[in-house]
Structure 1
Amino acid sequence: MHDTLDKRAPGQAHAGWVAQMVHPLADQGVGTPASFISKQFDLASIAGDEVLAISALGLYRCFINGKRVGDDLMTPGWTSYDARLSYQTYAVADLLVPGQNRIEIWLADGWLRSQLMWGGHPIFNTWGDKIAAIAELRSGENALLVTDASWQSGALPIRKSGIYFGEVFDARVPAAVSSGTEALPFDPAILVAHETTPVRELAPLAPIKSWADAEGRTVYDFSQNMGGYVAFTVTGDAGATVSIEHAEVLDQDGTFYNGNYRTAEARIDYTLAGTGEEHYRPHFTFQGFRYARVTITGNARITAIEAVPISSVTEVKASFTSGNKLVDRLVLNTLWSQRANFIEVPTDCPQRDERLGWTGDAQVFAGTACYLADSHGFLTKWIRDVMVDQREDGAVPHVVPDPTRMQPEHYPGFFGSTGWGDAIAIVPWQLYLHYGDAAILREALPAMVKWVDFVWSISDGPIVNPPRFWGARGFSFGDWLQPKGPSAKPLPTIGDDAAATIYLFITSSLVGRIATITGDKALASRMEKMAAEVKAAFAREFITASGRLCYDDQTSYALAFLHDLIPAEHVEAAKRYFKSTIGRSEGRIGTGFIGTPALLPALVKIGEPGLAASVFLQEEVPGWLYQVKKGATTIWERWDAIQADGSIYNPQMNSYNHYAYGAVCQWLFEGVAGFRPDANDPGFATVVFEPTIIPELSPVAASHDSKNGTIRAGWSMDGDKVRYEIEVPQGARGLLRLAPDYRDAMVDGQPHNGADRELAPGKHLVTFTYAAPQREEIAASRVNARTP
Structure 2
Amino acid sequence: MHAASTQPVDVNWVAQMVAPLSDHGVGTPGSFLRKSFTLDTRANGKTLHISALGLYVCFINGQRVGHDILTPGWTSYETRLSFQTYDVSDLLVAGENTMEIWLADGWLRSQMMWGGRPIFNTWGDRIAAIAQLLDGDGSVVLSTDASWESGELPVRKSGIYFGEIYDASFAQTATAGSEAIAFDTARLVAHETTPVRELEPLQPTKTWRDDAGRILYDFGQNCGGYVAFTVIGEAGARIIVEHAEILDKDGVFYNGNLRTAECRIEYTLKGNGAEDYRPLFTFQGFRFARITIEGKAKVSNVVSVPISSVTEIKASFTSANKLVDRLFLNTIWSQRSNFIEVPTDCPQRDERLGWTGDAQVFAGTACYLADAQSFFHKWIRDVMADQREDGAVPHVVPDPTKMDDTHYPGFFGSTGWGDAIAVVPWQVYLHYGDTAILNEVLPAMVKWVDFVWSISDGPIVQPPRAWGARGFSFGDWLQPKGPSAKPLPTISDDAAATLYLHITAKLVSQIAEISGDTKTAQRLADMAEQVKTAFAREFITPSGRVGGDDQTSYALAFLHDLIPADKHAAAKRYFKNAIARSDGRIGTGFIGTPALLPALVKIGELGLAADVFLQEDVPGWLYQVKMGATTIWERWDAIEPDGTIYNPRMNSYNHYAYGAVCQWLLEGVAGFRPDAAAPGFESIIFEPTILDGLSPVAAHHDSPRGLIRAGWALDGDHVRYEVEVPQGSTGRLRLSPAYRNAQLDGATIMAGTEPTLSPGKHTITFDYSVPVRQAHDRPNVNVRTP
Normalised TM-score (structure 1): 0.98
* Structure 2: unaligned runs, 5 residues or longer: 780-786
Over the aligned positions, Cα root-mean-square deviation in angstroms equals 1.2
In structure 1, which of residues 91, 99, 121 is the aligned counterpart of residue 95 of structure 2? 99
* Residue 387 (structure 1) shift: 0.3
* Corresponding residue number in structure 2 for 1:75: 71
> Deviation of residue 665 (structure 1)?
0.2
Within 5 Å, give how 1:330-479 maps onto structure 2.
330-479=327-476
Aligned twin of 2:563: 566
Q: Deviations over 1:647-666 (max 9, x none)?
A: 00000000000000000000
Q: CA deviation at 1:779?
A: 5.4
- Give CA deviations for 1:158-190 in whole Å, capped at 9, x if unaligned: 000000000000000122111111001111111
Report if aligned partners of 1:549, 1:557 keep a CA contact under 8 Å in 2: yes
1:174 & 1:665 partners in 2: Cα distance? 51
Partners in 1 of 2:417 and 2:624 — Cα distance?
Answer: 25
- Distance in 1 of aligned mates of 2:241 and 2:696: 44
Match of 1:58 in 2: 54
In structure 2, what residue type is equivalent to 1:515? A
- In the alignment, residue 117 of structure 1 is paired with which amino acid? M
1:594 aligned partner: 591
For residues 749 and 141 of structure 2, the distance between their equivalents in structure 1, rounded to whole angstroms, comes to 69
Q: Match of 2:719, as an amino acid?
A: V
> Residue 762 of structure 1 corresponds to which residue in structure 2?
760
From 158, 161, 166, the equivalent of 1:164 is 161
- Between the aligned partners of 1:24 and 1:629, the Cα distance in structure 2 is 52
Query: Given the superposition, is the C-alpha separation of residues 774 and 396 from structure 1 closer, same or farther in structure 2, using an over 3 Å criterion?
Result: same
Letter in 2 for 1:105: I
- Alignment match, 2:630: 633
CA displacement, residues 673-721 of structure 1 (integer Å, 9 cap, x when unaligned): 0000000100001010000001310010000011111100001111111
- CA distance, structure 1, for counterparts of residue 153 and residue 390 of structure 2: 45
Report what 1:786 is aligned to.
Answer: none
Q: Deviations over 1:602-657 (max 9, x none)?
A: 00000001100110000000000000000000000000000011100000000000
Q: Percent identity?
A: 72
Contact 1:63–1:105 (Cα < 8 Å) also in 2: yes
> Which of 114, 122, 125 is the equivalent residue of 1:118?
114
Instruction: Name the aligned partner's letter for residue 759 of structure 1.
Output: L
Q: 1:414 to 1:467 in 2, by over 3 A?
A: same
Instruction: Pick one of 133, 151, 154 that aligns with 2:151.
Output: 154
One-letter amino acid of the structure 2 residue matched with residue 396 of structure 1 = V
* 8 Å Cα contact 2:214/2:291 also seen in 1: yes
Counterpart CA distance in 1 for 2:601 and 2:27 is 53
- Once residues 353 and 399 of structure 2 are traced to their aligned partners in structure 1, the CA distance between those partners, rounded to angstroms, is 8
Distance 2:50 2:340 in 1: 20
CA distance in 1, matches of 2:605, 2:539: 23
Match of 2:721 in 1: 724
Aligned residues of 2:607 and 2:692 also touching (Cα < 8 A): no
CA distance in structure 2 between the partners assigned to 1:770 and 1:306 by the alignment: 49
Contact map agreement 1:7 1:92 (CA 8 A) in 2: no
After the TM superposition, which residues 151-230 of structure 1 pair with which residues of structure 2 at under 5 Å, given as runs?
Answer: 151-230=148-227
| Aligned position for 2:303 | 306
Q: Does 1:137 align with 2:99?
A: no
Matched, 1:504 2:498: no
Asked if the contact 1:583/1:782 (under 8 Å) is kept, the reply is no
Measure the CA separation in 2 of the matches of 1:441 and 1:762. 31
- Is this contact kept in 1: 2:346–2:654, CA < 8 A? yes
Displacement after TM superposition at 1:731 (Å):
2.0
Which residue of the partner structure matches residue 701 of structure 1? 698
Describe the SS at the equivalent of 2:644: coil
1:304 shift after superposition: 1.7
- Given the two structures, how large is their TM-score scaled by the length of structure 2? 0.98
User: Which AA in structure 2 matches 1:766?
Assistant: I
Which of 123, 130, 142 is 1:127 aligned to? 123
* Mapped contact 2:583–2:776 kept (Cα < 8 A): no
Shift of 1:756: 0.7
Structure 2 residue 314 is the aligned partner of structure 1 residue 317 = yes
Q: Say yes or no: does 1:38 pair with 2:34.
A: yes
Q: CA 1:90–1:572 in structure 2 vs 1: closer, same or farther (change >3 Å)?
A: same
Distance 2:183 2:370 in 1: 35
Measured after TM superposition, the shift of residue 336 of structure 1 is 0.3
Query: In structure 2, what is the Cα distance between the partners aligned to 1:508 and 1:781?
Result: 43
SS at match of 1:54: strand
Separation in structure 2 between the aligned mates of residue 609 and residue 523 of structure 1, nearest angstrom: 38
CA distance in 2, matches of 1:781, 1:65: 69
Distance in 2 (alpha carbons) for counterparts of 1:780 and 1:627:
19
Measure the CA separation in 1 of the matches of 2:6 and 2:589: 43
Hey, what does 2:105 align to over in structure 1? 109
Separation of aligned partners in 2, 1:29 and 1:779: 62
Could you say which residue in structure 1 is the equivalent of 2:784?
Answer: none
Q: Larger deviation: 46-55 or 616-625? A: 46-55
The 8 Å contact of residues 164 and 352 in structure 1, kept in 2 or not, is answered as: yes
Q: Give, in angstroms, the shift of residue 9 of structure 1.
A: 4.1
Partner residue in 1 for 2:603: 606
- Cα gap change, 1:373/1:10 in structure 2, threshold over 3 Å: closer, same or farther? closer
Q: Counterpart of 1:23?
A: 19
1:274 equivalent in structure 2: 271
Distance 1:111 1:721 in 2: 56
- Using a 3 Å threshold, how does the CA distance of structure 1 residues 113 and 149 change in structure 2: closer, same or farther? same
Q: Distance between the aligned counterparts of 1:102 and 1:780, measured in 2? A: 71
Q: Which residue of 2 aligns with 1:654?
A: 651
Q: Which amino acid aligns with 1:400?
A: V
Task: State whether residues 742 and 770 of structure 1, in contact with CA within 8 Å, keep that contact through their aligned partners in structure 2.
Answer: yes
Is the CA contact (8 Å cut-off) linking 1:588 and 1:618 kept in structure 2? yes
CA contact (8 A) 1:585 1:782 kept: no
Shift, 1:774, TM fit: 5.4
Measured after TM superposition, the shift of residue 771 of structure 1 is: 1.6
Contact preservation (8 Å) 2:51, 2:130: yes
- State the shift of 1:86 in Å: 0.4
State the partner residue of 2:518: 521
CA positional deviation for 1:47: 2.1
Q: Structure 1 782/595 Cα, relative in aligned 2: closer, same or farther at 3 Å?
A: farther
- Is the 1:113–1:126 Cα contact (8 Å) retained in structure 2? yes
Query: What does residue 782 of structure 2 align with?
Result: none
3-state SS, counterpart of residue 177 of structure 1: coil
Distance in 1 between residues matched to 2:400 and 2:163, nearest whole Å: 20
Alpha-carbon shift at residue 408 of structure 1 (Å): 1.1
Question: Residue 747 of structure 1 contacts residue 765 of structure 1 at CA under 8 Å; is this kept in 2?
Answer: yes
> Cα deviation per residue 1:283-324 (whole Å; 9 max; x = unaligned)?
000000000000000101102210000000100000110010
**Aligned residues of 1:583 and 1:781 also touching (Cα < 8 A):** no
Deviation readout 1:229-258 (Å, 9 max, x if unpaired): 000000000000000100000011000000
Give yes or no for contact 2:321–2:693 (8 Å, CA) kept in 1.
yes
- Opposite residue 374 of structure 1, the aligned amino acid is D
The 8 Å contact of residues 547 and 554 in structure 2, kept in 1 or not, is answered as: no
The CA distance in 1 between the partners of 2:447 and 2:435, in whole Å, is 19
Structure 1 regions of 5+ residues with no counterpart?
784-788
Aligned to 2:86: 90
- d(CA) in 2 for partners of 1:299 and 1:731? 64
Contact 1:587 1:782 in 2 (8 A): no
**Runs ≥4 in structure 1, deviation > 2 angstroms?**
5-12, 778-783
- For the residue of structure 2 that corresponds to 1:429, the secondary structure is helix
Count of matched residue positions in the alignment of Structure 1 and Structure 2: 777
The answer (yes or no) to whether the contact 2:6–2:192 under 8 Å persists in 1 is: no
Code of the residue aligned with 1:471 in structure 2: it is: G
Whole-angstrom CA distance in 1 between matches of 2:777 and 2:736: 23
